[in-house]
Copies of this chain bind each other. A is one copy, B any other.
């Protein structure tokens, strides 16, 4: 098997074990709260953010098993954002990863609370890690900034704001950089902080990778297979969302994605202090993914 895939699966497997342990400990009351948190965490998915974090640590020769709390916190925050994003008042999506989204399974009020609880839980995990060193505090703060009003939520808010409006490249870039980008940059930069690496270069690479990720996400909404992607497709056009397809057209977007991959490779070649093979692999993986 391809060395990149072998590595990806190793990080994924380690992460799934940590997540399963974590979910097994969620036996608090009311049961419906714990059940709804667990349900969304265990719906599956590619675990891209934790894997990016663990893989970058590993590329620095850092023992990634030491920092599972960060990986878990990243996935909790990603999961909460999906739960709230799917709500009727937001994207109103009844399917997530091929199953009922949280508000379809547990009702709207419980879905709001499950999201809130996962966000709080993520920070609780991070405070545990903060006790280890100042670097850990800095790494944790990367997440709160990436997830907050100058990060992911700004992107969500802009995404809503520009739906059905006429807007262009600049607005699209704002949404991309924030909505998806910030929470893909964070795992890479956090790993760099912990390993004592050059965070500026890692951040620039992460931003490009995040851009590529959202490009391919928009393309999947148009060209993907419903069963493979696991969410309702064709929604962007129906809701007149501001996407790359709307701004650059289908071919234009595909060309932009290829340019992005080139930029990512050049940036990684310029980072000498770590083995960049895994991050190169993940770049190709994002380009060619079908879900």
Contacts and interface: CB of A to CB of B under 8 A. Distances in A.
Contact of A112 (B84, B126, B158, B161): B84
Interface stretch (A142-150, A188-196, A220-228): A142-150
Contact of A140 (B116, B127, B161): B127
A146 to B, nearest CB: 9
Interface of A: 26, 28-30, 32-34, 37, 80, 84, 87, 89-90, 107-110, 112-113, 115-117, 119-121, 123-124, 126-128, 130-131, 134, 137, 140-141, 144-145, 147-151, 153-154, 156-158, 160-161, 174
Determine how many copies of this chain the complex contains: 2
11 contacts: A29-B158, A29-B174, A32-B157, A84-B116, A90-B109, A109-B160, A116-B153, A117-B153, A119-B119, A120-B149, A124-B144
B144 A113 contact: no
A26 B148 CA distance: 12
Given A33-B157, A89-B109, A127-B137, A120 B119 contact: yes
A108 B29 CA distance: 28
A148 B34 CA distance: 11
B131 A131 contact: no
A112 B110 contact: no
Given A112-B90, A116-B84, A28 B131 contact: no
